[in-house]
Amino acid sequence: MEGIINVLKPTGMTSSDVVVWMRRILKIKKVGHTGTLDPGVAGVLPICVGKGTRLAEYITEQGKAYLAEVTFGVTTDTQDAFGKEVHQTKPDLKQSDLERVIPNFMGKILQIPPMYSAVRKDGKHLYEYARQGLSIERTPREVFIYNLKLVKWYEGDLPRAILDIECSKGTYIRTISHDLGQVLGCGAHMSNLLRVRSGPFRITDSWTLEEIEAAVGESNYEFLLPLTAGIDLPRVFLSSARASAFRHGLPTNRNLVQTPTDGHETYVQVIEDGKLIGIGVWRGEDLFPHKVLG
């Protein structure tokens, strides 16, 4: 059994909990997730099975999309709804105020990782320092926001906004929420979050754990997608002879590669007879194996 499953992770479970659950249901040990979703966050969590686990790093690197609820006027120590309240005020804030600053958060931006995060500093996770009541200096990280759009605005003593966010890997949505509040001078935190896309996987095509369990009970494995479905990389096609060479670590000249691409990409999926056999990398005019799946 090998492939990728587009799982709709429920709130209350860690990503590791979903992996454990999937191992039990599928009766297979080789299962892994493709990037952590906090327990309080629901949404798309691609799960790799069998040889698919060797592709997790490529899936994790792909962009993400979220629907985030931001509550203004309240800050927390974790920048989300699960932390301790640090400050509260009733902001004099209008929808137009938020719309005015949103463009500043588009494109390439710098984020300071939150103290309650898994980022490491001097061999320890930042959350370990935070639990000791410590706040240490952190290096800003560069991320890219492809799209940031206001979907809905709610008036009130503590105004709320629903934001549609498309971003690069490593973006902290709760930090965007916190930073919006800082720029607007009233404070804010991320009060809810739903991941609607991870790489090519969309929430509209995801499977709940209950649906997967029911399908397995009926010996129906249509939820298990082929390995090629998980990677947003161009595809090149090799003959059986060149595929054998690829498996043995040998390069293939561009003239011997059957490919519909323009050849300017760096990393590509390598296909033989419709099956993904690995990830290749172009070096000059030759295609070298980068990861061989078999």
In this predicted structure, the answer to whether residue 121 has a pLDDT above a threshold of 90 is no
Residues 152 and 74 in one domain: yes
**Could you confirm whether 80 is annotated as catalytic?**
no
Q: Residue 51 burial (CB < 10 Å; 0-12/13-18/19+)?
A: middle
Q: Which of 130-134, 144-148, 215-219 has the lowest mean pLDDT?
A: 130-134
User: What span, in angstroms and rounded, lies between the C-alpha atoms of 179 and 72?
Assistant: 11
Q: Return the exposure string of 10-36: e unless at least 16 CB atoms fall within 10 Å of the residue's CB, then b.
A: beebebeebbebbeeebeeeebbbbbe
Task: Give long-range contacts, CB 8 A cutoff, 24+ apart: 153-156.
Answer: 153/95, 153/98
Catalytic residue among 38, 164, 232, 286: 38
Question: pTM of this prediction?
Answer: 0.86
Residues 181 and 277 in one domain: no
Residues 53 and 32 in one domain: yes
User: What span, in angstroms and rounded, lies between the C-alpha atoms of 209 and 18?
Assistant: 8
Q: Is 69 helix (H, G, I), strand (E, B) or coil?
A: strand
Provide the 8-state DSSP code for 186: S
Phi, psi of 114 (to 5 degrees): -65, 155
**Domain with 258 in it: what CATH number?**
2.30.130.10
Residues 71 and 194 in one domain: yes
Question: How many folded domains does the chain comprise?
Answer: 3
Q: Considering Cα of 263, then 269, then 270, then 271, what sign does the dihedral take?
A: negative
Domain termination residue (choose one: 211, 229, 247) = 229
Residues 166 and 194 in one domain: yes
Residues 194 and 278 in one domain: no
Token pair of 103, please?
Answer: 């463009």
Q: What pLDDT band is residue 68 in, cutting at 50, 70 and 90?
A: very high
42-49 and 74-76: which strand pairing? unpaired
Q: Which residue has the higher pLDDT, 154 or 39?
A: 154
Q: Considering Cα of 113, then 114, then 119, then 120, what sign does the dihedral take?
A: positive
Strands in 13-159 per DSSP E: 31-33, 42-49, 64-72, 74-76, 85-88, 107-111, 120-121, 124-125, 141-154
* Domain range for 18: 3-62+200-229
User: What span, in angstroms and rounded, lies between the C-alpha atoms of 286 and 8?
Assistant: 40
Residues 38 and 105 in one domain: no
Residues 110 and 155 in one domain: yes
Residues 54 and 173 in one domain: no
Token pair of 89, please?
Answer: 């005020």
User: What span, in angstroms and rounded, lies between the C-alpha atoms of 98 and 176?
Assistant: 13
Q: Which of 90-94, 124-128, 202-206 has the lowest mean pLDDT?
A: 124-128
pLDDT, residue 261, reads 59
Residues 44 and 75 in one domain: no
In this predicted structure, the answer to whether residue 127 has a pLDDT above a threshold of 90 is no
**Domain with 41 in it: what CATH number?**
3.30.2350.10
List, for residues 190-214, the tens digit of each pLDDT value: 999 999 999 899 999 999 999 999 9
Radius of gyration of the chain, Cα coordinates, nearest whole angstrom? 22
Residues 172 and 110 in one domain: yes
Most confident of 68-77, 236-245, 276-285: 68-77
Report angle CA 202, 154, 76 to the nearest 5 degrees: 80
Token pair of 153, please?
Answer: 């605005």
Residues 175 and 82 in one domain: yes
Q: What are the start-end ranges of the H helices in 46-150?
A: 56-60, 95-101, 126-131
User: What span, in angstroms and rounded, lies between the C-alpha atoms of 88 and 77?
Assistant: 12
Q: Considering Cα of 165, then 167, then 169, then 172, what sign does the dihedral take?
A: negative
